[in-house]
């Protein structure tokens, strides 16, 4: 039996803006994609993984192999050569185990092949997509003269700038097979980290967008396919949630209701009540649902 853990997550409603430092002229831009025929904003899986690694570093006594240094604005490494992976029982780090790694070296002599150390991520993360289309909101602002050393190098006039913003929720999914980990108990630490994400989609790190789950649907199963990614919808522009497609899939038999643990806002909706009647474990709290999944995984793995 191979156990798989899947989850679909939706955040609280908040205001997202550029957190990458990229601009078009003097306007900071949002990443966008066409989703179901309309323009939506999006947050990369890498941004979610970055924040997840920070939580893993705080949770693990030995820390993570890679740690972001806010002073030097670079990554610090404990074992950049991934030394422990070459032998059975070698010491490894939780972030390498969950998030994978790649270290490639070019050939040192012409005609010789290069080398690469590669480990595929066990914790897979989808791109986050806004729950509602982007209406094109942009704010116009002015930085006061001398606000930063680079803002106004000439004169005493304010420096105008614009920022694309999006008041919305984001949804994304994860997948994980604990048996693929060097230490299977790291799976529950990953779930706890995901349940407590925060600074993922802000604005240059100055403004907070709460990226922790407002609602989450876990699936613990032997089925290798998730079948629940991007299952959240909204009937009223993001004010409340629905999961009609998930209900349909349970009723169709593609997903066993007993495999589902649901937490957060969905619990009190028509979709949440329908899933509870079908046999899903529905809880009002995110923390309670996350702990229930951790307990179920620990029981199966024992």
Q: Provide the whole-model pTM.
A: 0.92
Q: Give the separation between CA 157 and CA 155, rounded to whole angstroms.
A: 6
Cβ atoms of 96 and 67 closer than 8 Å? no
Q: Give the separation between CA 165 and CA 99, rounded to whole angstroms.
A: 30
Give domain limits for the chain.
Answer: 4-301
- In order along its 302 residues, the chain shows pLDDT tens digits of 799 999 999 999 999 987 676 788 888 899 999 999 999 999 999 999 999 999 999 999 999 999 999 899 899 999 999 989 988 888 999 999 999 999 887 777 777 777 788 999 999 999 999 999 999 999 998 888 777 776 656 677 888 888 999 999 999 999 999 999 999 999 999 999 999 998 887 776 677 889 999 999 999 999 999 999 999 999 999 999 999 999 999 999 999 999 999 999 999 999 999 999 999 999 999 999 999 999 999 887 76
Q: Give the separation between CA 127 and CA 201, rounded to whole angstroms.
A: 12
Q: Give the separation between CA 269 and CA 265, rounded to whole angstroms.
A: 7
Structure tokens, 206: 């100055």
pLDDT of residue 151: 62
pLDDT of residue 204: 64
Return the ∠ at Cα 189 (arms to 184 and 195), rounded to 5°: 135
**How many other CB atoms are found less than 10 A from the CB of residue 205?**
10
- Paired residues of 194 in beta bridges: none
Q: Give the separation between CA 167 and CA 137, rounded to whole angstroms.
A: 9
Cβ atoms of 15 and 202 closer than 8 Å? no
pLDDT of residue 300: 78
């Amino acid at each position: 039996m191979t156990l798989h853990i899947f989850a679909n997550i939706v955040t609280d409603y908040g205001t997202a803006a550029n957190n990458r430092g990229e601009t078009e002229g003097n306007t900071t831009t949002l990443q966008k994609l066409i989703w179901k025929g309309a323009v939506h904003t999006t947050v990369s899986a890498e941004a979610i993984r970055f924040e997840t690694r920070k939580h893993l570093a705080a949770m693990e006594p030995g820390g993570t192999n890679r740690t972001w240094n806010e002073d030097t604005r670079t990554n610090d490494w404990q074992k950049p050569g991934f030394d422990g992976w070459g032998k059975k029982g070698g010491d490894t780090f939780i972030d390498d185990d969950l998030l994978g790694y790649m270290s490639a070296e070019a050939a040192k002599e012409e005609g010789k092949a290069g080398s690469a150390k590669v480990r595929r991520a066990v914790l897979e993360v989808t791109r986050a997509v806004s729950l509602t289309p982007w209406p094109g909101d942009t704010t116009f602002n002015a930085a006061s003269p001398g606000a930063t050393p680079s803002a106004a190098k000439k004169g005493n006039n304010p420096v105008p700038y614009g920022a694309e913003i999006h008041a919305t929720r984001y949804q994304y999914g994860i997948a994980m097979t604990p048996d693929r980990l060097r230490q299977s108990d790291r799976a529950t630490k990953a779930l706890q980290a995901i349940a407590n994400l925060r600074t993922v989609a802000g604005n240059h790190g100055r403004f907070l967008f709460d990226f922790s789950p407002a609602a989450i649907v876990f699936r613990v199963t032997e089925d290798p396919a998730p079948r629940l990614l991007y299952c959240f919808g909204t009937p009223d522009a993001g004010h409340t949630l629905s999961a009609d497609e998930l209900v349909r899939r349970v009723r169709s038999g593609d997903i066993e209701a007993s495999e589902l643990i649901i937490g957060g806002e969905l619990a009190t909706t028509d979709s949440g009540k329908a899933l509870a009647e079908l046999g899903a474990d529905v809880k009002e709290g995110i923390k309670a649902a996350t702990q229930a999944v951790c307990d179920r995984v620990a029981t199966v793995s024992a």
